[in-house]
Structure 1
Amino acid sequence: MPEVPAEPGLVVEEPGTGFCGAVIRCEAGTVTLEDRFGKHRVFPLEPRGFLLEGRAVTLVRPSSGAPPRPARTASGSVAVPGARARVARAGRIYVEGRHDAELVEKVWGDDLRIEGVVVEYLEGVDDLPAIVSSFAPGPDARLGVLVDHLVPGTKEWRIAQSVTSGHALVVGHPYIDIWEAVKPSSLGIAGWPRVPRGQDWKTGVCRTLGWPENTGAAWQGILARVRSYKDLEPELLGRVEELIDFVTGSGEA
């Protein structure tokens, strides 16, 4: 029967209730968990009473001399205590819009500051060729671009192909909008609705889900539910990590 110290920050699930959260306190006989919405629940420390990455475990009170679990950033990487932001690189990452930039900042912001990578947004891809030409990417100034709904044969695909080079990488996710890259389960909805062609997608989503038709407010509500990379779809996670590696020189040109 595996025993796991209930260190602060450890994320587990109580199978009887389905409550999933991070350990915030462990006292004699009980553990307090906090879910992604900030709700607290207290559970008894019972044998095989929790699931850790799908495996039944017994949580035990951590010993005072046990080394603390390494803190993690929202992207899942090991946090570097006291690390200073690096002077910004010449290289940049561009995303399509403000919402994309806010989501990338929330999940990867700590990593980007350590790497000295600045994220800017385009407000659409139509101006991408001119931006790439003006930026003039090179070996010491790589340019990475994240594009929404990058599907072969589309206008976005053709523009991306036209500017890609050894020092400029354009990648994309399959979602109509960055909203869709947030897992529905993290928002408490069954799935993202289909919006008829010709209708503004975000407005249609709000209308179908019964949200107020204020897309700015809706986005802030969505963003507030994103606590870490676990709330995002893997199709977005992989692309952002690929761009960070490319711009910092960790990936191949």
Structure 2
Amino acid sequence: MPDALFSAYLEPNDPTPLYLQVGHHISGLIGKDERFLDRLPSEAELCRLYGVSRITVRQALSYLAKRDVIVRQHGRGTFVGALHRPGRQKTIHSFFEILADKGLRPRMTLLDYRMQAPPEDMAKGFGEQGDVLFIRRGYRSAEGPLGVTEVFYPGHLAKMVTPELAGSKTSATILKDIFKFQISHADISIGLTQAADDVSEWLDIARGSVLLKIKRVTSCKGQGICEYSRLLVTEGAADFQIKADGEMLSEGMLHE
């Protein structure tokens, strides 16, 4: 018999395919529900929980596996992918660089630049009171939009990040080349999120579309946390992967 907490999430009449609804729900449970911390329930158990067929469950798991959200091991089961666990890298890479490495000739557009109150966890991370600087950039190639980055800087750095600088340089370049900060480490996590209306409009996708979200918290030597950022990309827009330690690689780099 289906579990009401799981089956209630599904909308059979929704235009979103049932397997995608299941996949998105599973992604949201990883790391939060005790049944989805390391190893996922069996296919049979997922069928029972959601009240769907095994084919639907397998499609949902394949969808998540292709995005490295989960790892399927023959004879052992399905496990949470390394990307959903805390990942730490020693340096940072810009989305612009990854796209350029793929020969996409990206163009960067400053979409938003403003001071705003930070979420509570971000304020604690920055260790200071007051507003933070929020920057949103859009990336596109000749074929169309590729993704959006959203970056938050602590208030004491805001005056140094002018609109002109934000619109012409990537965050990685600003921290490493303009400010001359030394990166201590960056913690990343990956998941799925619903696109905000203004992001959907710029990416030219349906409202509420699901995006891949890569969150990065960058710490600099002598500065503490100096940046919170998130990369939002549509499925298939940019073909890159992230290693278990958090390093972002373009498909071309993977085959070197």
TM-score (norm 1): 0.28
| Bigger relative contact order, structure 1 or 2 (CA pairs below 8 A, ≥6 apart) | 2
TM-score of the superposed pair, with normalisation by structure 2: 0.27
More strand by share: 2
